[in-house]
Structure 1
Amino acid sequence: MMEPTNPLQIADYRRFWIARFLSWLSGSGMVVIIGYQLYDLARQSYGMTIAQASFMLGVLGFVQFVPMFLLTPVSGVVADRFDRRKIGAISVSVDMAMALTLAIATWQGWLSLPLVLFLGMAHGTARVFVGPSVGAIAPMIVPPALLPRAIAMNSMAMQSGTIAGPAVAGLLFGWHPSLFYWMAATLLCVSALALLTIRPLPAHAANRETHPMRMAWEGLSFVRGNPFLLGCITLDLFAVLLAGATALLPVYARDILHVGPTGLGEMRAAPAVGAAVLGILLSIKPLERRVGITMLGSVALFGAATAVFAVSTNYALSLAMLAVLGAADMISMFVRSTLVQMHTPDEMRGRVSAISGLAIGASNELGEMESGIAAWLLGAQGAVLFGGLGAVAVTLIWAFLFPQIRKANRFTPQEDD
């Protein structure tokens, strides 16, 4: 039987890709609508000022992060101890239930700030289990030689969903605010079923016999004792923590650029457009050399583009900068994900993916909280500018704190030269 030369030639990978795409399409669209509804509720129904409503966007990010912070050790152990596809399907089903609740609440006019914040917490709980379980599936169903290309295609699925989700959500929201939630619930159901049709992926026998507490400690010790992995994971944590402009996009859409929910959908999609273009290029011709310095450069570019976006009052320039930062983030994510997967043994991928997911979640959710607080103190534009310049500074510091990253030439450790 001929060996596959492309991940899409593998039936299980095709199912995995579809599940990932539908999950991201639904999730990214819901995030746009939830953020806009929360901000609009705070301004209109609760009479909050722009600064106060911006702070509520930060609170939304915080309540999504809390379960991630508390449950990350558990999720990593679960992903390494049980069938990863089943854990992923159950977690996606939780998001499906959240989408149904939002659809009914929006349709019936029951939406309130406490309900939105509670459902945000439910979403964070689901995501903390989705990341380690689903993220560790690809290396189990794709040959090592095809893994960099598969990771690029994984990112394409994510970015394609992130492009389509906000655009479709904005369009359906204009017809009726609940329509996209109904669609998202349906797509998440299909995503869960697609994961379950992948062949069984039993956990390593040693993991089933090891005490869960010891497994969690082994995962933390492995990352802490590997400066290369530690540097890769924490670079994203601190850079995106500072430069997360996404949480404040409703402020830009409503009160700075004056483009409304349709413009918000376009702005949320713009980074994904830039990322998708890079994703296509990387899936055709994956990066092979100077991977470490490329990752550092892409994070610095991400921060610089964020800083320009912060001060722009021209909608076209703002969209362009969002596309640039999306492309830069795509390069960084591709390199980081491939390096982490290549440097981690399969029996620990769930736990390492959980720790990496915590860093990403912290950078996103805590970044949203940081943005909300900074916007309260500095104004939205000042907060985003401060974050963008901070990301550039973090990149320079990490280049010297972790020379292993700067010197990494290829993805596989033994191939560095």
Structure 2
Amino acid sequence: MASPSLLQHKSFMRFWVGQMAASFAFQMLLVGMGWQIYNLTDSALSLGLVGLARYLPQLVLTLYGGHVADNHNRRTIMLVSRSVIAVTIAVLAVTSVMEIITPTIIYACCIAMGAARAFEMPATQAMVPKLVGPDLLAKAMTWTASGREATTIIGPALGGLIYIFGAGALYGSSTACAVLSALILFDLKYQHDQREKRPVTLESLFGGLKFTWSNKVVFGSISLDMFAVLVGSVTALLPIVAKDILNAGPEALGLLRSAPAIGAVVMSLWLAWRPIENRVGVKMFAAVAVFGAMTVVFGLSESLWLSVAALVLLGAADMISVVIRSTLVQLETPDDMRGRVSAVNSIFISTSNQLGEFRAGAVAALIGTVPTIVIGGIGTLAVTALWMLWFPRLTKRDRLDERNLSGEIK
């Protein structure tokens, strides 16, 4: 019997296209904000503050966002959140065209987007298993991740080119993509389980944390990603690398931001052809180690093309880790907990990404860009070694979906 195809799932494909549009909006937006804030302030710390402004509201609100995702229609939550994001980007577009934009306006818009994403991310992650079912979940995760990475290739490169015509043009394009992603959700067919709504209690809010902590496979995988990226993130420093180290312009910044996604998409195509079937724990740790090693190479590079090559390999390794981690988290979590566990996962992701950007910007302001990147890569290698020792069950995990004789996941 032939295996089912994701192309036959119209609801998932609509969801996937909406995700692509939203990711396009976000990737172009990040190029614009990074280049604009650095031109306005000429400060590495300001680049870090952009990440911090997006992170803090997510840290405060995401657990509640997970509770909402488990008690309300996840499609509606996504629709409202993306509408808020579209309005926020439109504010950046208007203020840029009117030439009244300031760092304060950019930070305020980052806070608003962070608050919206605190609700959007848990709902989005928790929807996928209900759209496709367990048999197609690994493929769906690969499609979702590869689609996101494809936009990360095209989005920053396109954003860098559009920025030549001004920040307003870039933010306007990003707004159009955000609006499109929200409109697509209107006709998305999603079966929301009608379960008794739980009141907001400490037990409900922290239920995802309790489950995550008790499941060492889930906790080990998401904490590995959080700390590895937290200490090794270079994203916030790319405008400095492009402008001051490589002596290039916004088009080079777009290329650098696209490079990890190029590697990720190539790897996702490979994984679609040859899915990871065994030794998933060891392969995830190996991928994170390559991520750290390529970060060191990128930090030492003074050549645009060597820097791009290092980021391509970094992105390919990261894709392996993303597919394994995201599939493990969803397979190990019951549906009535997926919103809250996805919220915990979102906190870990935003901590690694946004707080990692702030760490990189703050440290670079103190010791310089190159030492910050190199030390971060070495730190990622150290995290990988420690997690292999601290989480032996994850290290020894053989298959993604390990079920016992009763059909339950071990």
TM-score of the superposed pair, with normalisation by structure 2: 0.96
What residue identity is the alignment partner of 1:229? V
Task: Kindly report which structure 2 residues correspond to 1:160-199, keeping only aligned pairs within 5 A, or say none.
Answer: 160-199=150-189
Task: Tell me if structure 1 keeps the 8 A contact 2:208–2:343.
Answer: no
Cα displacement (A) at 1:374: 1.2
Separation of aligned partners in 2, 1:355 and 1:217: 9
The CA distance in 1 between the partners of 2:3 and 2:384, in whole Å, is 38
The residue number in structure 2 matching 1:385 is 374
Unaligned runs of 5+ in 2: none
Q: In the aligned structure 1, how far is the partner of 2:319 from the partner of 2:195? A: 35
Partner of 1:28: 27
Q: Which residue is 1:49 aligned to?
A: none
> 1:230 corresponds to which residue?
219
Shift of 1:204: 4.9
The amino acid that maps onto 2:118 is V
1:48 maps to what in 2? Answer: none
Amino acid at match of 2:325: R
- Aligned partner of 1:77 in structure 2 is 67
Whole-angstrom distance in 1 between the partners of 2:106 and 2:281: 40
What amino acid sits opposite 2:31 in the alignment?
Answer: V
Match of 1:42, as an amino acid?
A: T
Alpha-carbon offset, residue 320 of structure 1 = 0.2
Which residue does the alignment assign to 1:19?
A: 18
Find 2:129's aligned residue among 139, 142, 149. Answer: 139
Once the two structures are superposed, the pairs formed by residues 1-400 of structure 1 within 5 Å of their partners are 5-43=4-42, 53-206=43-196, 208-400=197-389
The change in CA–CA distance for 1:173 and 1:112 in structure 2 (over 3 A counts) is: same
The answer as to whether partners of 2:84 and 2:116 remain within 8 angstroms in 1 is: yes
1:288, 1:411 within 8 Å by CA — same for their partners in 2? yes
Q: Any stretches of 5+ residues in structure 1 without a counterpart?
A: 44-52
Whichever residue aligns with residue 9 of structure 1, its letter is Q
Given that residues 67 and 200 in structure 2 are in contact (C-alpha distance below 8 angstroms), is that contact kept between their aligned partners in structure 1? Answer: no
C-alpha displacement at 1:63, in angstroms? 1.2
Alpha-carbon distance in 2 for matches of 1:308, 1:258 = 18
Residue 3 of structure 1 and its aligned partner are, at CA, apart by: 8.7
Letter in 2 for 1:6: S
What is the count of residue pairs matched by the alignment? 406
Equivalent residue of 1:178, what SS? helix
Over 3 Å counting, the alpha-carbon distance change for 1:238 and 1:209 in structure 2 is closer
| C-alpha displacement of 1:95 | 1.2
The SS at the match of 2:278 is coil
Task: Kindly indicate whether the alpha-carbon contact (under 8 Å) linking 2:65 and 2:118 is maintained by their aligned counterparts in 1.
Answer: yes
Which letter maps to 1:278? Answer: M
Q: In the alignment, is the contact (CA less than 8 A) between 1:85 and 1:201 conserved in 2?
A: no
**What CA deviation, in whole Å up to 9, does each residue of 1:90-131 have, x standing for no partner?**
111111011111111111101101011111111211221121
Aligned to 2:393: 404
Q: Are 1:152 and 1:286, in contact at CA under 8 Å, matched by a contact in 2?
A: no
- Cα distance in 2 between the residues matched to 1:288 and 1:126: 36
Range moving further from structure 2, 3-12 or 298-307: 3-12
Task: Give 3-state SS (helix, strand or coil) of 2:399's partner.
Answer: coil
Summarize deviations over 1:326-377 as a string: whole Å, max 9, x none. 1111111111000001100111111111101100100011101110121012
Letter of the aligned partner of 2:379 in structure 1?
G
1:413 aligned counterpart, secondary structure:
coil
Report the alpha carbon displacement of residue 177 of structure 1 after superposing the two structures with TM. Answer: 2.2
Equivalent position SS for 1:198? coil
Report runs of 4+ in structure 1 exceeding 6 Å deviation: none
Name the SS for the 2:206 alignment partner. Answer: helix
Distance in 1 (alpha carbons) for counterparts of 2:3 and 2:389? 40
Displacement of 1:144 after TM fit? 1.2
Q: Which moved more, 1:282-291 or 1:59-68?
A: 282-291
Q: Distance in 1 between matches of 2:7 and 2:367?
A: 48
* Preserved contact between residue 33 and residue 169 of structure 1 (Cα < 8 Å): yes
Following the alignment from structure 1 to structure 2, what is the Cα–Cα distance between the partners of residues 100 and 4?
Answer: 43
- Tell me what 1:46 maps to: none
Partner of 1:50: none
Opposite residue 270 of structure 1, the aligned amino acid is: A
Cα distance in structure 2, aligned partners of 1:243 and 1:224: 24
- 1 CA distance for matches of 2:351 and 2:220? 15
Identity of aligned residues (%): 37
Write the letter of the residue equivalent to 2:68: V
Q: 1:380-403: per-residue Cα shift (whole Å, max 9, x none)?
A: 000010100000000000001000
> What SS class does the counterpart of residue 137 from structure 1 fall into?
helix
2:366 and 2:259 mapped to 1: Cα distance? 27
